[in-house]
Chains A and B, each alone.
Chain A
């Protein structure tokens, strides 16, 4: 079992839809959870950063962490064609190696106008 599992999609939605992206993980030591967005032929850019459990909202984006289920989610409201990209979840453990991120494979999202 991989440490981080992410459905690669592809996921195709109409403009304005609510998008739900998810990752599961097996390492209970993970404490830091991130979502990155990667456009084609570009580097990933940080969208959301969460420590431990709970929700975090930033504009149209909401990140949720459920440590009891080892499950994290990213919700995108009122999705736009410009949201079309690959979304990567990433996480790390606390302690001395917290800089070392473990990534999911990414979910390819297309928002159709």
Chain B
């Protein structure tokens, strides 16, 4: 596609429920990233995928968070047993190389009530 596509754009969920967020990167971009943007905070790195290499999961805040990516295609970020502090915009980005910068999607706005 022409850009990074994320779905859903908005998600309201009850505390304790599981949610799954989807990211479709730009075709040909080998690198894929997930970031979290909480209100009044800078973007926080969550996870990085590069081709078939082992992902860098060092930014995942707890074991309730997990992400998968098959090859160089779609990625899903799953949050289990959601908590109110998980409320944030979850941004996905892809890139072909660092010097070209990331291309971000519009994000999924998650609200946990």
Contacts and interface: CB of A to CB of B under 8 A. Distances in A.
Interface residues of A, number: 27
B98 A105 contact: no
A98 B40 CA distance: 25
A44 B43 contact: yes
B107 A43 contact: yes
Interface in B63-113: 91, 93, 95, 98-107, 109
B102 A101 contact: yes
A3 B113 CA distance: 32
Interface of B: 4, 31, 33, 35, 40-45, 48, 50, 56, 59, 91, 93, 95, 98-107, 109
Interface of A: 4, 6, 8, 32, 34, 36, 41-46, 49, 51, 88, 90, 92, 97-106
